[in-house]
Each structure stands twice: as structure tokens, then as C-alpha cells.
């Protein structure tokens, strides 16, 4: 029997991550997405149920989508927790939860039908926050939040994924696992500098360097790791919660760098689909 595949996506409650969750579900894959709070996870799950992206054929039989609440700003505390509050939905079961389960349990809570193997084949580190004030006005707590969510949690999730990905690979030869880290064009050293983005840019620059430096280590294990650096993604909370003046000047100054959550989700999906099988 062919193994079913599961993706884990952080930042899946909003913007790019949410579009990607929808794309993954419509492909027939199962998906575990992470949001910062029980409220955002449940709201997102209800939006996914309403959108009804599950394919209308027999492949949906084993498919499930699970929302997991982890506040990634609480790094490193969250890494010591064994289980997390979760809610789950599948086309054959109504919404269940809350229940607690390990993040890397990539099988459904209530399996239906004959036993089915699940493999962990995709991690997308998409959760991120931006900087809300000029750098000299940012507090130590602001700096820690940005670094903990954008960089430290991304590195921990990458590290923690290696064993379960290798185990999946051993049990099913079908998939070549891949990790995609979402950085930003602001992380490139030759980018035009924007005031009030130094801490954010530092976190994203580190994400790019971490990804490139880790690639040879993981490639020896048969795991691919990639980073993407989107420009300005219109229609995301990240852009819409900027002060109106900053939003206006950003959107006017950089029309060539503008993109959409759909386009970025498509790019991530094409990277996954180009993974050697």
C-alpha cells in the first residue's frame, strides 16, 4: 500500500501559509498547520472547512488537516513540550478537539478504513513577524520576539524534523523529504535598506545563511532544504498592519517587488513538486 504524505506548515493560519495549506489540501496531501493561539487555529480550521478544498475523489479517504497551537515566541520553552493543543478535521470525520498530541505525529487522530501509513515529507517554516518600530525604539522583548519566531523556532523545527523525516523515508521509499524556509528580500545584503527593518532583516538574513550552510549536511541524509525570499506580499496581515504612510510608500517605491500570497504559495508548491522521488 502506498504511504499517504503529510506536510507541516507554520504560519498556516494567515497570509502565505494559509494559501499554502489550501494548496496542500487540494493536492490530496494531509496537513498539520501551526498557529500562535487556540483562537487563530480554530478560526483557520473553520475557514478551511468552509473553503472545502479536499479533492472530490477516493484519495480524500485518508486525508486530514490538523491545527496545532504553539506560541513560537516562547522559544526555547515550547521545544521542551512533548504535546500541543490540537484540533483536527477530515472529510470523513467532523471537527474533533481539543486534544493534545506530539507535533510530529503525522497520522490522523481517528484513522478511518484499513490501516494506512503516513510519511512526513514537507516542512514549511512560514511563521514570521515584522518589526513595528524604528530599531533604536525597539525593546529587548521586541527583539527577542522577532528572533524567537523568525529564526530560533525555525532552526529548532528544522532540527526536530530530521529524525521523523528520516524515519518516514526508511519506512516508505516513496518520498524525498524537503524543508522550505521563508526568508525575505530584506534578508539579502544588497537590498535597498528600509528604515525600521534592521532586526527583521537580520533575522531573515540569518535564515538564508542557515539554510545554505545546512544544505550539504542534510543533502547527505537525503533531505532537501531550500529558502525563498519573497518581495512585498500584498494582502497579508504583515503589510496591512503597517502604518498607512509606511504601507503607501512601500507599495509605491517597490512595484517590481510586489507579489501575492497565492503566487508565493505556488512557488513553494513548485519547489516541493520538483523534489526528486
Ligand X SMILES: NC(=O)c1ccc[n+]([C@@H]2O[C@H](COP(=O)([O-])OP(=O)(O)OC[C@H]3O[C@@H](n4cnc5c(N)ncnc54)[C@H](OP(=O)(O)O)[C@@H]3O)[C@@H](O)[C@H]2O)c1
Handedness of CA 20, 93, 161, 272 (dihedral sign): negative
Of the candidates 88, 136, 133, the one whose C-alpha atom is nearest the C-alpha of residue 109 is: 88
Query: Cβ 119 to ligand X, closest distance in Å?
Result: 25
d(CA 33, CA 21): 7
Interface stretch with ligand X, choices 10-18, 59-67, 91-99, 172-180 (CB under 6 A): 10-18
Interface stretch with ligand X, choices 11-19, 166-174, 214-222, 269-277 (CB under 6 A): 11-19
d(CA 61, CA 229): 35
d(CA 242, CA 265): 22
- Cβ-based nearer residue to ligand X, 4 or 152: 152
Q: Does 17 bind ligand X (CB under 6 A)?
A: yes
Interacting residue with ligand X among 5, 42, 63, 73 (CB under 6 A) = 73
Q: Does 42 bind ligand X (CB under 6 A)?
A: no
Q: Which three cell numbers stand for residue 92?
A: 470523513
Q: Does 103 bind ligand X (CB under 6 A)?
A: no
The SS3 assignment for 277 reads coil
Contact positions with ligand X (CB under 6 A) in 140-179: 149
From the CA atom positions of the chain, what is the Rg in Å?
Answer: 18
DSSP notation for 169-185: HHH-TT---EEEEE--G
Q: Does 14 bind ligand X (CB under 6 A)?
A: yes
d(CA 255, CA 245): 16
Q: Does 127 bind ligand X (CB under 6 A)?
A: yes
Interface stretch with ligand X, choices 64-72, 87-95, 160-168, 210-218 (CB under 6 A): 64-72
Q: Does 32 bind ligand X (CB under 6 A)?
A: no
Q: Does 11 bind ligand X (CB under 6 A)?
A: yes
Q: Which three cell numbers stand for residue 158?
A: 528544522
The SS3 assignment for 58 reads helix
Total site size for ligand X, rule CB under 6 A: 29
Query: Cβ 218 to ligand X, closest distance in Å?
Result: 20
Write each residue from 226 to 245 as x if it is in contact with ligand X (CB under 6 A), else as -, in one continuous string. ----x-xx--xxxx------
Q: Does 214 bind ligand X (CB under 6 A)?
A: no
Q: Does 196 bind ligand X (CB under 6 A)?
A: no
A 10 A CB-CB count for 102 gives 13
Query: Cβ 237 to ligand X, closest distance in Å?
Result: 4
d(CA 259, CA 277): 30
- Cβ-based nearer residue to ligand X, 10 or 121: 10
Q: How far is CA 234 from CA 34, 187, 231, in A?
A: 22, 18, 9
Query: Cβ 170 to ligand X, closest distance in Å?
Result: 30
Interacting residue with ligand X among 68, 178, 182, 214 (CB under 6 A) = 182
Instruction: Indicate left, alpha or beta for 28 from its phi (over 0: left) and psi (-120 to 50: alpha).
Output: left
Binding site for ligand X (CB under 6 A): 11, 13-17, 34-37, 40, 70-73, 126-129, 149, 182, 184, 230, 232-233, 236-239
Amino acid at each position: 500500500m502506498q504511504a499517504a504524505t503529510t506536510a507541516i506548515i507554520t504560519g498556516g493560519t494567515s497570509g502565505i501559509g494559509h494559501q499554502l495549506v489550501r494548496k496542500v489540501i487540494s493536492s490530496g496531501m494531509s496537513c498539520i498547520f501551526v498557529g500562535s493561539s487556540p483562537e487563530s487555529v480554530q478560526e483557520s480550521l473553520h475557514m478551511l472547512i468552509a473553503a472545502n478544498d479536499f479533492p472530490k475523489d477516493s484519495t480524500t479517504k485518508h486525508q486530514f488537516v490538523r491545527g496545532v497551537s504553539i506560541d513560537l515566541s516562547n522559544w526555547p520553552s515550547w521545544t521542551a513540550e512533548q504535546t500541543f493543543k490540537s484540533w483536527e478535521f477530515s472529510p470523513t470525520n467532523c471537527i474533533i478537539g481539543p486534544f493534545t498530541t506530539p507535533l510530529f505525529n503525522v497520522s490522523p487522530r481517528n484513522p478511518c478504513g484499513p490501516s494506512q501509513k503516513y510519511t512526513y515529507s514537507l516542512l514549511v517554516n512560514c511563521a514570521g513577524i515584522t518589526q513595528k518600530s524604528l530599531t533604536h525604539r525597539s525593546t529587548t522583548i521586541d527583539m527577542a520576539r522577532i528572533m524567537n519566531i523568525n529564526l530560533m523556532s525555525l532552526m529548532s523545527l528544522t532540527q526536530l524534523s530530521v529524525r521523523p523525516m528520516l524515519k518516514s523515508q526508511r519506512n516508505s521509499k516513496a518520498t524525498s523529504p524537503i524543508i522550505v524556509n521563508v526568508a525575505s528580500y530584506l534578508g539579502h545584503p544588497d537590498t535597498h535598506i528600509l528604515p525600521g527593518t534592521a532586526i527583521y532583516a537580520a533575522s531573515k538574513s540569518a535564515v538564508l545563511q542557515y539554510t545554505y550552510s545546512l544544505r550539504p549536511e542534510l543533502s547527505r541524509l537525503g533531505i532537501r532544504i531550500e529558502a525563498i525570499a519573497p518581495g512585498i506580499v500584498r494582502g497579508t496581515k504583515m503589510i496591512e498592519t503597517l502604518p498607512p504612510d509606511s504601507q503607501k510608500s512601500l507599495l509605491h517605491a517597490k512595484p517590481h517587488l510586489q507579489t501575492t500570497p497565492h503566487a508565493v504559495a505556488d512557488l513553494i508548491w513548485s519547489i516541493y513538486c520538483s523534489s526528486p522521488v
